């Protein structure tokens, strides 16, 4: 069995650690918002942003003027965290309250995507990750928009997942207490799409919107 690097190895409750790439991909594909941690001017910074995954790469994009994008483009070490909360764990003691979750942490250095065709492909990967099919329905990026946008790629090499499932884990003596314990499960509900107030009459809801959240991922 391949040894897990200390940087990515789960220390707290290590039995919840997952290092299989396919399992890591599945968690990443359920979400599209990550938090990126980096050092800027000797100050630790964490920024939330959208992302996309294709194969073994994570793609992020932003303005050329973005502090985060400019700093990441310098080749600094970063960490990326993605979390999906699936429920609240209510134990018999406050100490043992918790949550059911799926999370991924990735370490590494992001590299700049260069070339028009490569940038368009990377932006399409982000779009497809968030909502399948929308890229073909919308207007493509103009040259001006491409020049104003920076796209970075982070390989999913130094990565680990951590998952908690199940119910409360109380102290043995607390099981005799007359205190309710259990799980409040979370589900994500997709509401009815709301058209733009200035949308012209007669434009139907596109397939990407009608099918959102219903089609399984077909990514590798």
Domain ranges across the chain: 14-168
pLDDT tens column, 6-23: 778 888 888 888 899 999
pTM: 0.91
pLDDT score at 1: 46
Would you say 57 and 154 are in contact if contact means Cβ atoms under 8 Å apart? yes
Superfamily of domain 14-168, CATH level 4: Electron Transport, Fmn-binding Protein; Chain A (2.30.110.10)
pLDDT tens column, 155-181: 999 999 999 999 999 999 999 999 999
**What average pLDDT does the segment 120-129 reach?**
98
**What average pLDDT does the segment 33-56 reach?**
97
**What average pLDDT does the segment 55-68 reach?**
97
Of 151, 160, 150, 152, residue with least CA distance to 81: 160
Q: Which residues of 164-189 are buried (b: 16+ CB within 10 A; e: fewer)?
A: beeebebeeeeeeeeeebebeeeeee
pLDDT score at 217: 52
């Amino acid at each position: 069995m391949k040894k897990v690097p200390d940087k990515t190895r789960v220390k707290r409750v290590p039995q919840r650690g997952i290092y299989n790439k396919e399992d890591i991909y599945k968690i990443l594909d359920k979400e599209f918002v990550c938090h990126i941690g980096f050092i800027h001017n000797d100050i630790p910074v964490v920024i939330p942003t959208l992302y996309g995954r294709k194969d073994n790469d994570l793609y992020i994009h932003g303005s050329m003027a973005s502090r985060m994008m400019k700093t990441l483009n310098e080749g600094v070490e970063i960490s990326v965290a993605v979390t999906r909360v699936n429920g609240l764990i209510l134990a018999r003691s406050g100490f043992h309250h918790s949550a059911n979750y799926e999370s991924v942490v990735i370490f590494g250095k992001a590299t700049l995507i260069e070339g028009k065709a490569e940038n368009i492909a990377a932006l399409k990967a982000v779009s497809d990750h968030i909502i399948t099919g929308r890229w073909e329905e919308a207007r493509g990026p103009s040259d001006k928009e491409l020049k104003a946008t920076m796209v970075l790629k982070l390989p999913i090499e130094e990565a680990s997942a951590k998952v908690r499932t199940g119910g409360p884990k109380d102290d043995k003596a607390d099981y005799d207490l007359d205190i309710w314990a259990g799980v409040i499960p979370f589900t994500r509900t997709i509401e009815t799409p709301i058209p733009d107030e200035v949308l012209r009459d007669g434009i139907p809801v596109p397939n990407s919107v009608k099918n959102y959240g219903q089609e399984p991922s077909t990514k590798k």
